[in-house]
Structure 1
Amino acid sequence: MSEQIKELIEKIQQEGVKAAEDKARAIIDEAGLQAQAIIKEAQKEAQSIILGAQDRAAKMEESGRASLKQAGRDMLLSLRAEINEMLGRMVRERVREALGVEELSQILGRIIKEAGVHEKAEVVVTMKKEDAEKLEKGFLAELKSQVHRGIKIASSDAMHGGFTISYDSGRSLFDFTDKALEEYIVALLSPKLAEVLRGK
């Protein structure tokens, strides 16, 4: 009988060990499946994070490029404006230098004489006060005697150089002020300057 008990105990032990091994194997298999699911989920999440980061990086790079492009355009526009302003100042200074009293008297004498002696309307020349005062002291009387026509020299505080001239007593006029000549010359030079800036 002790032999039977011994066999029974061995059988119970074997069955218990086998059951424990089966249970352990099932737990290990379940843990392996769970680990694979966790790894798969982690890989998906990591891929999603990577794609999100790449997308954000691409958007930031695109935004950075757009900002740089805009900054470049702004700088170019600012530079062009500054160059045009500098060109305007240079032209203005040269025009004022070129339109001294002596030059004004020569120009006015010529254009008034060529305008026609048969016209009866008064010629009105407007210029800055200092130039008007200088021209009235001799030049005006001499010119009136040559053209036999009424000539009036007026002054304007708004003018800094050059003159306006009207052949119909002021109803219409031709503008030869430093400002008008500056605008004309700058408009003439701007396309050439733009070509230089573009490197053509």
Structure 2
Amino acid sequence: MKKEVQKLLHKVIAAQVADALTPDKLSDIIAAVAHKSVDGKSADAGVGVVLSPKDLKELRDGFLAKLQKQLKHPIHFQASEDIGKGFTVSFDSGKSSFDFSEAALAEYLSVYLNEELAALLK
């Protein structure tokens, strides 16, 4: 039964994360990450952001163009079919990245909430 509850919880979390990652929210999050990285000098090698093709198309002409002009460091945007919602970001030309994709965020939240659920069920 524990496994079934965990699966159900993960499904609910994944659906909520997907619903929350709208283009408007993505633009806010990407802007915050980009500005913080530039302020913190993390972006000396440039910032690379990978989005789903749909989100990239939706954001490219408006928000992303405006963000590019605001920042002194280059930001490179690309699409990946591997990302449904969310994005990944790299500050070192792709050698490493931080994963803010739908799948990764759902996994992070599931781990935390599974521990909380286990504590409640004790």
Runs of at least 5 residues in structure 2 that lack an aligned partner in the other structure? none
Corresponding residue for residue 115 of structure 1:
37
Corresponding residue for residue 112 of structure 2:
188
Kindly state the Cα deviation for residue 123 of structure 1 after the two structures are TM-superposed.
1.1
The one-letter code sitting in structure 2 at the alignment partner of 1:189 is: L
**Larger RCO of the pair (alpha carbons < 8 Å, separation 6+):** 2
Please show how residues 18-97 of structure 1 align to structure 2 within 5 Å: 79-97=1-19
Structure-2 separation of matches of 1:93 and 1:107: 19
Structure-2 separation of matches of 1:167 and 1:186: 27
Q: Tell me which protein shows more helix as a share of its residues.
A: 1
Kindly state the Cα deviation for residue 120 of structure 1 after the two structures are TM-superposed.
3.4
Larger-gyration structure (1/2): 1
Runs of at least 5 residues in structure 1 that lack an aligned partner in the other structure? 1-78
Structure-2 separation of matches of 1:195 and 1:121: 44
Structure-1 separation of matches of 2:11 and 2:29: 23
Q: Tell me which protein shows more strand as a share of its residues.
A: 2
Task: Give TM-score scaled by structure 2 length.
Answer: 0.90
Kindly state the Cα deviation for residue 195 of structure 1 after the two structures are TM-superposed.
2.5
Identical residues among aligned pairs (%): 33
Task: Give TM-score scaled by structure 1 length.
Answer: 0.57
Corresponding residue for residue 49 of structure 2:
125
Query: What is the alpha-carbon root mean square deviation over aligned residues?
Result: 1.4
The one-letter code sitting in structure 2 at the alignment partner of 1:98 is: A
Kindly state the Cα deviation for residue 116 of structure 1 after the two structures are TM-superposed.
1.7
Residue 134 (1) aligns with residue 67 (2): no
CA deviations over 1:101-134 (Å, ceiling 9, x no partner): 0000011111101112554322111121111111
